[in-house]
Structure 1
């Protein structure tokens, strides 16, 4: 979409088919250049320069009205006249090449018209009002959607904001992204004479943004070629190695994949199934992936068999014949017909082995499935056209509107919350880098598409948006599960929502959120609802103070030392005394004590797990007893069912007992249950039983116990 695109120079796959296509492409470009130099054709006659576009379009639409295409070419050629690409070719060759790509994929006339005009508003004096007046609102919308924002106005934010604008436009009409993808493919094909650093920058954006978008829109024909072109630029050494592997395989003797294809044709012929069996060579990146996964490649690894049939039922018939006459590789079977991928892709995948050990991967699909697999949303024709009145035109009667596929809806939702272009740009790349490989089912029959590794937190925000703040738990396959539970493909998830509208997520949710939409929503809530610093509850008692370190005082030769807090007396004169934080002993707990480093003595409850570990490592016990009753500090854990105002009610119950709250933590709800942990300052240990009874009396609380913290390994 820029006059900076240049002459073809970047090497691509060198398979014979690719060589033929590239040869035809070069001939097409030369023909386009010559035709453009001759100027526009006479009125009402199709210009020679768009003859190849017309031919490709009529293969899909034999009776199409080509007048809009003619007028679009006349306007594009006249407005771009005098402009050249860096290769020296007339600039009009670029929109013509982009339009040819889309015509070959089966795009309808509105898309092709907008494609011819896609650079006019950006690079010429043509205005959007002029496009609207000449070609209508739809064409104007598409042209505006792919028009870049000016760097003069947006500076460094121009590129991310252009993509944001384009994605929003795609949310209303996916044809916007179809044009952008074809535009990027032609620019990548002709990137060779640009500076290496600019090639690398464009290739990285293509890798991080455009290729994942092509995958999500199902346009595999564009995606695979873009992958190979990016691979050649960013990884030239690996590209050369794969190129050598493919060349060596082409020169090797024998063709096991061809032999298996012949056997498959025979099997299907005998079974009476009309089918076309083709060999599809893997593209460079696919060969590279298989090589890294399997190591040394077999001859059959360089391609796959494609079986095309007429009806859905024939797909399963082919599968049955193959699994009967060959040995199936069970782990390779996938049914994307019964459960299509999120990008509309449908096929049966399997692999079969011959007695000699040769294995062939096989794709089985109908001709219509194949068109959608190659062209994705482009193959859906015009989903925005009114239904056809011709009852025989089933394509329009069964219109599929891909305007807002689930992944795009989620992307559009979170992009609105991105606070700045940098956050949007980095989050977009992160989101698109995730492979959405799992389908999670809702009890109502709906499906959520999520990335592998997604948790119930992600499912909550994917289903409810920011209303997921009130989620308190989930059922996965009918069983209670925490929100941190990682989901698997095929799981059924029922999300449990709380009734308290003021409730919200904790910062721990971020540890379990994989999707950008969930993370942005959680961060925004945490930013607008900062956690207040813990404060003492209202109390008639004096304000809580920091617990003083236990200081010894002489008690005579037999009594040793005693603390100023909780009055623990140890049989070691001059030693400082510490109450262990792992078990927070208070009178009248049974206690024991150990000498630790620095001459101090640590006091533990007798049942503390740390006591056994101290004895195992040979720590000597020190005699200890409770002295005078004094105010003490204790940590309590309250287990409760989640409900509104629970925290306020517990805090009030503690305050009414005359106890000060030093700190409080509330863990995220799990299985509709909540755990509160309080560190409390009691006026004396005698208050503890009554306090625990008062806390248990709070509605929803079913247990209150002394907290057991992880003990330090060594003191």
Structure 2
């Protein structure tokens, strides 16, 4: 951390621009200030204080801490400050300030966010082990295991290079240590914020490098941990360094708006207060200015800005039900913009955020956004995981037994730990994490049982399957989206209802093609993990695809299309059902024509000592013969089991797929794979590969399928016709 300790001046070409007096709309209207993280300048250093008296240098921290935790025990803070000050004594920052000003500033940031005493204690000590002679054993002996764990976690994070040259395995280990206690990352983010505030004396190229790392890794992490107070200020500081011209232009827009004679936000806020007063709803109505990056984004989206674009109206109430009461009154008494309504209370964001979003239109056409939330929701919206307090505090009825338990973590961080455990290698985990951090929009889709799935924008049914079922999604056959059959490659939209259709074969395999449609780390890692663990099957999928496609110019049906669940590459029953005239060879039925007894068959040797068995009229046979491939004699054995591909054509109707699969199961057919094409003109085509205990059951199976209401034809899949030469 000492490498980033520099002079306390604002970064970028405009000194004082970010942390100075210019705050959007703040000079003229009553506004609820954001958690002010800029107040601490140079702390007074008085040295160790008498026991029982708090040093004056941490008075800022104590004041902020007591505002959130009035009954907090301050002795650990006093003790930690005394140790930190004595350990860092003589160390100076590049600006010439005593080094103790840095841990004091970091601790103040966390105190104003509402962090509990243990986190603040660790924050005061977070550089002692790295930069002084203090050891982790000393920290444990004087402050306990909890503080030692946090200090150790932050120390490890300091050794991580977050840039493009980062060692993926090192990053994974450090992130795992962080994930086991989110307070470690909270301290790291506060540490980076103070270093970003004091970046002014660094060389421009070093400022730019640190700002890019902050933008690419730490700001997305702050977003996912819900710490908006840190995230927004970090964004503004990075904006000033990496885009100084745009920053200067945005600052000028804010200055000009502050000088306006009219104030549409204040007028709407007054109107909202009047509406709620008439409805006898107790609420606090405030104005929430946009930060610099937010103003810049709005200006790029809307062009010329109006007064209402520089902030939002914030309504704070006591209970969840009051939020909806406020919403009803505003939509009744004012002119709502219905398209702007979003309910993040019923469906919270992945980072714990909850609020109602709406907008009202003024007579002059200006649209004012309104946020409605409880006081507790507002605290969590600003502080995120920091507002959770101590995740290890035992419940009163569960006395602590000295063992660490899993903390209460936001869903994204829990998934992160699952990804790193499942990732086949560190590089794959690192690339997947970077992709996920780059996705800043999320959609919510609904399950038929009323549950929800949070997915990144652009996610497909493949992603939904792995989000809901984990690795059991290998058996997914297809999906219904909003009641209509859909392929697994279908891109989902916010609010869609998704019903996933699962097969019953426990040995089902994912298709390599699914990777093309998987956008979430959970899906990509699960599929890649299976392919890595089963190289023979994965190679067989690719090998057979190449052989048939190269010889016939036709993509074989036995290589699953995107969105179709692949069947077993090595046919489990084929070995005993087909005899090959090649010693030691394993026979398997080709899925391009799926022969069954008593079809006339022939075979061809493929890589891996196997023989693929085709119907003699299959187009692939002629192509392979023309290519000089030698046939291998094959014949049906005594075993009666067989695998066959059937095509059912039907009209679209509710519950058709369920009725069809039930009819197949009643005939003893085991569905190995299925493909459902998108409906056209109210007609749909299904392709099923099924395992039958006896080939003699095939006619009865086809009759049972034809008897299903809505099905007008069932036939065996036909081999691709051989193209005629001109």
Q: Residue 133 and residue 500 in structure 1: after superposition, are their counterparts in 2 closer, same or farther (change >3 A)?
A: same
How big is each residue's C-alpha offset from its partner over 1:135-169, in whole Å with a ceiling of 9 and x where there is no partner? 11111111111113686999997675554334313
Q: 1:276, 1:369 → 2: CA distance?
A: 14
SS of 1:679's equivalent? Answer: helix
5+ residue gaps, structure 1: 391-399, 537-543, 548-580, 585-633, 665-676
Q: Residue 23 and residue 454 in structure 1: after superposition, are their counterparts in 2 closer, same or farther (change >3 A)?
A: closer
Aligned to 2:491: 486
- Superposed displacement of residue 235, structure 1: 1.3
Q: Residue 699 and residue 244 in structure 1: after superposition, are their counterparts in 2 closer, same or farther (change >3 A)?
A: same
- Superposed displacement of residue 367, structure 1: 1.1
Aligned to 1:703: 716
Q: Residue 313 and residue 503 in structure 1: after superposition, are their counterparts in 2 closer, same or farther (change >3 A)?
A: closer
Aligned to 2:279: 271
Aligned counterpart in structure 2 of residue 657 of structure 1, from 600, 607, 631:
600
Q: Residue 193 and residue 417 in structure 1: after superposition, are their counterparts in 2 closer, same or farther (change >3 A)?
A: farther
Aligned counterpart in structure 2 of residue 12 of structure 1, from 5, 10, 18:
18
1:248 and 2:284 are equivalent in the alignment: no
Q: 2:299, 2:273 → 1: CA distance?
A: 28
CA contact (8 A) 2:335 2:361 kept: yes
Aligned to 2:232: 224
- Superposed displacement of residue 419, structure 1: 5.6
CA contact (8 A) 1:663 1:680 kept: no
- Superposed displacement of residue 9, structure 1: 2.8
1:116 and 2:124 are equivalent in the alignment: yes
* 1:495-506 pair list within 5 angstroms: 495-506=500-511
Q: Residue 352 and residue 338 in structure 1: after superposition, are their counterparts in 2 closer, same or farther (change >3 A)?
A: same
- Which of these two proteins has the greater Rg computed from alpha carbons? 1
1:28 and 2:36 are equivalent in the alignment: no
Aligned to 2:107: 99
SS of 2:539's equivalent? Answer: coil
TM-score (ref. length: structure 1):
0.74
Aligned to 1:626: none
CA contact (8 A) 2:162 2:213 kept: no
How big is each residue's C-alpha offset from its partner over 1:451-471, in whole Å with a ceiling of 9 and x where there is no partner? 011112112222333343333
Q: 1:709, 1:109 → 2: CA distance?
A: 77
1:510 and 2:453 are equivalent in the alignment: no
Q: Residue 443 and residue 168 in structure 1: after superposition, are their counterparts in 2 closer, same or farther (change >3 A)?
A: farther
Aligned to 1:369: 377
CA contact (8 A) 1:340 1:346 kept: yes
CA contact (8 A) 1:329 1:352 kept: yes
Q: 1:361, 1:235 → 2: CA distance?
A: 27
- Superposed displacement of residue 4, structure 1: 2.6
- Superposed displacement of residue 231, structure 1: 1.0
1:680 and 2:686 are equivalent in the alignment: no
Aligned counterpart in structure 1 of residue 368 of structure 2, from 336, 360, 364:
360
- Superposed displacement of residue 74, structure 1: 1.1
CA contact (8 A) 1:351 1:361 kept: yes
- Superposed displacement of residue 378, structure 1: 1.2
Question: Greater RCO between the two (CA within 8 Å, min separation 6)?
Answer: 2
Q: Residue 711 and residue 301 in structure 1: after superposition, are their counterparts in 2 closer, same or farther (change >3 A)?
A: farther
- Superposed displacement of residue 112, structure 1: 0.7
* 1:235-634 pair list within 5 angstroms: 235-388=243-396, 403-418=408-423, 422-443=427-448, 445-527=450-532, 528-529=534-535, 530-532=538-540
Q: 1:81, 1:87 → 2: CA distance?
A: 15
Q: Residue 710 and residue 416 in structure 1: after superposition, are their counterparts in 2 closer, same or farther (change >3 A)?
A: farther
CA contact (8 A) 1:662 1:681 kept: no
SS of 1:449's equivalent? Answer: strand
Q: 2:470, 2:62 → 1: CA distance?
A: 45
Q: 2:500, 2:542 → 1: CA distance?
A: 31
Q: 1:638, 1:448 → 2: CA distance?
A: 26
Q: 2:131, 2:375 → 1: CA distance?
A: 40
Q: 1:2, 1:365 → 2: CA distance?
A: 40
- Superposed displacement of residue 383, structure 1: 3.0
How big is each residue's C-alpha offset from its partner over 1:556-593, in whole Å with a ceiling of 9 and x where there is no partner? xxxxxxxxxxxxxxxxxxxxxxxxx6799xxxxxxxxx
Q: Residue 426 and residue 200 in structure 1: after superposition, are their counterparts in 2 closer, same or farther (change >3 A)?
A: farther
- Superposed displacement of residue 196, structure 1: 1.7
Q: 1:110, 1:638 → 2: CA distance?
A: 54
Q: 1:531, 1:337 → 2: CA distance?
A: 47
